[in-house]
């Protein structure tokens, strides 16, 4: 058992929003730890490119194209996985968008779009995965939160509310599914160097704030989530449930 604590050999991980950014990094990390990975993305071309690159690197990769806000597409994707005999042992609910605007200027449609993409999707995909994990008596669910799961920042209200919901959805999953051998936890990334944050990186004032506000004095790199993802996907976390682990350079730990 000792050598296998973090070994994901024989397991299959579904990662939503895996074509790029944090999802792509975590998918590669889980594959490196031995998992077969099912990559999800809404854009078929971008998904195919990511899958091809990961196969070229020697990883076992399946593709599951669906929009995480489209329940019919989610149900069809799980039916296809069932038909192909692909059981999801590990789910990473990573897909998400950002939309920055002061609330007084925010259209309700934009509010709903962020909540649907960043929070409701994790419920729907999580429910479909859990339906199949419960009979097996085992499963790992990793929801991707944010610093905004705990602290608010002006102009990103729907994202903040959704990510706060991710923290509590993780606990709700624990309340209902831990007895069935499922461990549901969350990762709270700090300010990471991703496409979604490029506008912030390019803003000298915002960049200076992140660097000054983060004890590690730098932005995080997507690959720096891999260790925590592998931990929460592996036997090493079999008695960890309902937690959110911040990978944020210490930002949430200090004023």
- 142's enclosing H/E stretch is strand 139-144
Q: Which residues bind ligand GCO (CB under 6 A)?
A: 98, 100, 146-148, 153, 156, 159, 189-191, 196-197, 200
Q: Catalytic annotation on 159?
A: yes
Closer Cβ to ligand GCO, 159 or 177, answer by number: 159
Provide the minimum distance between the beta carbon of 128 and ligand GCO in the complex, in angstroms, as a whole number. 25
Closer Cβ to ligand GCO, 156 or 229, answer by number: 156
Closer Cβ to ligand GCO, 77 or 192, answer by number: 192
Provide the minimum distance between the beta carbon of 55 and ligand GCO in the complex, in angstroms, as a whole number. 29
Q: Which is the catalytic residue, given 159, 191, 239, 246?
A: 159
Provide the minimum distance between the beta carbon of 244 and ligand GCO in the complex, in angstroms, as a whole number. 11
Provide the minimum distance between the beta carbon of 224 and ligand GCO in the complex, in angstroms, as a whole number. 13
Task: Taking each helix axis as running N to C, give the angle between helix 157-177 and helix 121-133, from 0 to 180 degrees, rounded to the nearest 10.
Answer: 20
CA dihedral 42, 115, 219, 151 (to 10 degrees): -170
Cα–Cα distance for residue pair 112/127, rounded to 1 Å: 20
Cα–Cα distance for residue pair 223/209, rounded to 1 Å: 22
Closer Cβ to ligand GCO, 159 or 231, answer by number: 159
- 91's enclosing H/E stretch is strand 90-93
Active site residues: 159
């Amino acid at each position: 058992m000792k050598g296998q604590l973090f070994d994901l050999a024989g397991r299959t991980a579904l990662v939503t929003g895996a074509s790029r950014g944090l999802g792509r990094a975590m998918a590669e990390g889980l594959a490196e730890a031995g998992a077969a990975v099912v990559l999800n993305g809404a854009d078929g071309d971008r998904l195919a490119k990511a899958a091809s690159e990961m196969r070229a690197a020697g990883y076992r990769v399946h593709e599951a194209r669906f929009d995480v806000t489209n329940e019919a597409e989610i149900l069809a994707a799980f039916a296809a996985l069932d038909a192909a005999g692909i059981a999801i042992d590990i789910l990473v609910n990573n897909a998400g968008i950002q939309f920055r605007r002061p609330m007084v200027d925010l259209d309700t449609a934009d509010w709903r779009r962020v909540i649907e993409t960043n929070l409701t999707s994790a419920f729907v995909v999580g429910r479909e995965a859990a339906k199949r994990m419960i009979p097996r008596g085992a499963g790992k669910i990793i929801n991707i939160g944010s610093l905004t799961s705990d602290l608010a920042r002006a102009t990103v209200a729907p994202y903040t509310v959704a990510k706060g919901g991710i923290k509590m959805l993780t606990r709700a999953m624990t309340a209902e599914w831990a007895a069935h051998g499922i461990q549901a936890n969350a990762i709270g990334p700090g300010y990471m160097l991703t496409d979604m944050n490029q506008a912030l990186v390019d803003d000298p004032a915002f960049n200076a704030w992140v660097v000054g506000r983060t004890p590690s004095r730098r932005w995080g790199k997507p690959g720096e989530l891999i260790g925590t993802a592998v931990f929460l996907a592996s036997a090493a976390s079999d008695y960890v449930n309902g937690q959110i682990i911040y990978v944020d350079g210490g930002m949430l730990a200090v004023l």
